[in-house]
A and B are shown apart, each in its own frame.
Chain A
Amino acid sequence: MAGGFVYNAIDQTEVATAEIYGKAIADIMLNDPKVVAITADLAKSTKLGDVLKVCPERVINVGIAEQDMMGVAAGMAKAGIIPFVSGFSAFCSMRACDQLHTDICYQKANVKIVATHSGTSFGQAGSTHHAIADLAITRSLPNLTVICPADGFETANAVNAAYNTEGPFYIRINRGFDLVLYDNMDYGFEVGKAVTINEGTDITVIACGSCVAQAKKAAEFLKNADGLSVRVLNMHTIKPIDKEAILKAVLETRRIITVEDHLTTGGLGSAVSEVVVESGKACAFKMLGHESFAMIGLQEDIMADAGIDANGIIASVREVMKKDFEEDNDWDDEY
């Protein structure tokens, strides 16, 4: 199979992540007549414009019907097609959850879901259109690989990996212009393997999606302002989670903060905490994310409100660094 779409840094600065997805899928579809794009009245919003230009006969629009979209995709996959389903994350994961569970995951249908407008990236649309439970939902479904790319380059890598790997994928991307994290696609992306953005020995910040760039900024600030050595891991694959990278962080830094544009229940933080707790090793631990339905507003304002932007991460790192969790009987600082 073809490796898929490759693009340059100029594309990255000029197009939104979803548009990069559109270009990536268009390139794959040009080279493989068995790939079909399916959407639910969101061909434009999910940036399938490039696909419509190159092979409109393989863009199936089912109207505003996400349940149907998932079922149709499952049927197509059963007939040998590789369907790329695009829709808002909120509706892919919740409205069509039963179809995702039963028609796709249970049956191991080779369906690739690229869920857009994830987290709070559709900020002003409010909680009806925020997807802050989708990682919890999709992470709990057997046979499904769950990826939350950090920028456009990573989205292209995730799309190519999904195309080249048999089985269902859920790729969660944002609505708008993500901060650029990588210089190009060639940084060693591998499904299930965290990428070290910043080496560090004092504390590890494990982030995914739009929070990775925020964590990187926080680490740079803390190095200069506090002299802290902050490790930043881009945990782009939520399932299967990279246990090795987590355990290495536990052993080498003994302090971990997770950060995600998602509820603190069930998402990245939960996935990391499961590994930490099972390890039996002591580790200071804090999960950053939404505690409830998010406020309405621009995504950057929502992220600031939830403490998952660079400032919030900086504050949490300082707080966790104060924790004295070593061999003492003083529990006061733990509460």
Chain B
Amino acid sequence: MALSKQEWLDLEKKVNDLRHLTLQTTVWAGSGHLGGGMSVLDLLTVLYYKYLNIKVDDPKWEDRDRFILSKGHAAIAYAPVLCDKGFNDPEMLKTFNLSGSKMGMHLDSNKVVGVDASTGSLGHGASIAAGTALAARILGKSYLTYIVTGDGELDEGSNWEAFMTMNHYKLSNCIVFVDRNHNMIDGNTEDVMALEPLADKFVAFGFNTVTVDGNNIKELCDAIDAAIERSKEAQAPTCIIMDTLKGAGLTSVQGDYHTHYMAIDDPTFEKYNAELDAYYAERVARAEKEAE
């Protein structure tokens, strides 16, 4: 599934559209977790438009790949993906976060089509993912489970219980991503609760661990291709630490922990849309250059 140049450019266009839609959704909602949504959006795009074996017309298909957004607050970016894919009516995005909406700040798997797990309470997704991956083994199914945690989320000890389970049962059919955007509500992760050396921690927990630029589609795809290859036999699971920018694409503020939760007024909306366009142009130029 090596990434062709055209595929790369198509994915760049798609993620750019989704960045704009995420920003727009934040405006409709009045505010939102824009920082962590933008940092993980490249991964969401790559998974949903290249890798996930899912059926939009049969969202509960039992052999589908599973995706668990353990950092459930990134729903502001995930909901646009699920609507764009066709699982839900895009009009629903206009109700995001509003009273009576099916789409809250954290998506409910019983209300939003295509969501495999209702997350939001941090530190839960990894165990659920271990469960779906173990179920695949027990039922003799070949589907894969993809799960993404935040980096601040890893402060929750329950994650590490799940990582021990993934390693103990050699769940290479479960691929773990960490959105390493370096920031959480109160500031930089290393100031709030030091995570480093993070990769060493995953190695110590038995994971085949790689670190990539999580805002680089080619690097993400290469790492996922390798993890899928490893999944073909039961062995140590793979953790892909994605070095990302919180608020990626909102170039005037990206990397700042204040992007964690933002309210956007009209002038800022215009400004950020322009920044996203410039960011897209840069990304396309990079893709054009690196694909050669």
Contacts and interface: CB of A to CB of B under 8 A. Distances in A.
B52 interface: no
Contact of A72 (B62, B123, B131): B131
B121 A76 contact: no
Nearest to B137: A57
Contact of B130 (A72, A80, A99, A102): A72
Contacts of B128: 71-72, 74-75, 78, 103
Contact of A107 (B117, B123, B126): B117
B110 A81 contact: no
Contacts of B62: 79-80
B158 interface: yes
Contacts of A34: 139
B131 A65 contact: no
Interface string B98-139: 000000000011100000111011011011111111111011
A80 B60 CA distance: 11
Nearest to B136: A79
A63 interface: yes
A99 B127 contact: yes
A326 to B, nearest CB: 49
A75 B109 CA distance: 13
B165 A65 contact: yes
A180 B209 CA distance: 55
Contact of A78 (B116, B158, B161, B168): B116
Q: How large is the interface on A (under 10, 10 to 19, 20 to 34, 35 or more residues)?
A: 20 to 34
Interface in A37-72: 57-58, 60, 62-63, 65, 67-68, 70-72
A108 interface: yes
Nearest to A62: B165
B76 interface: no
A67 B139 contact: no
B130 A65 contact: no
Contacts of B116: 78
B124 A76 contact: no
Contacts of B195: none
Contacts of A60: 134, 169
Contacts of A72: 127-128, 130-131, 134, 162, 165
Contacts of B120: 102
Contacts of A205: none
B164 interface: yes
A292 to B, nearest CB: 30
A286 to B, nearest CB: 39
Contact of A75 (B121, B130, B141): B130
Given A65-B165, A71-B162, A79-B62, A103 B127 contact: yes
A275 to B, nearest CB: 29
Most A-side CB within 10 Å, residue of B108, B120, B131, B161: B131
A92 interface: no
Nearest to A60: B134
Contact of B127 (A68, A81, A83, A108): A68
Contacts of B127: 67-68, 70-72, 74-75, 99, 103
A98 interface: yes
B124 A103 contact: yes
A65 B161 contact: yes
11 contacts: A60-B169, A67-B123, A71-B130, A72-B134, A75-B128, A75-B129, A78-B66, A79-B66, A79-B131, A83-B131, A102-B124
Interface of A: 34, 36, 57-58, 60, 62-63, 65, 67-68, 70-81, 83, 98-99, 102-103, 106-108
Given A103-B128, A107-B117, 8 more contacts: A71-B128, A75-B135, A78-B66, A78-B117, A79-B62, A79-B136, A80-B139, A99-B127
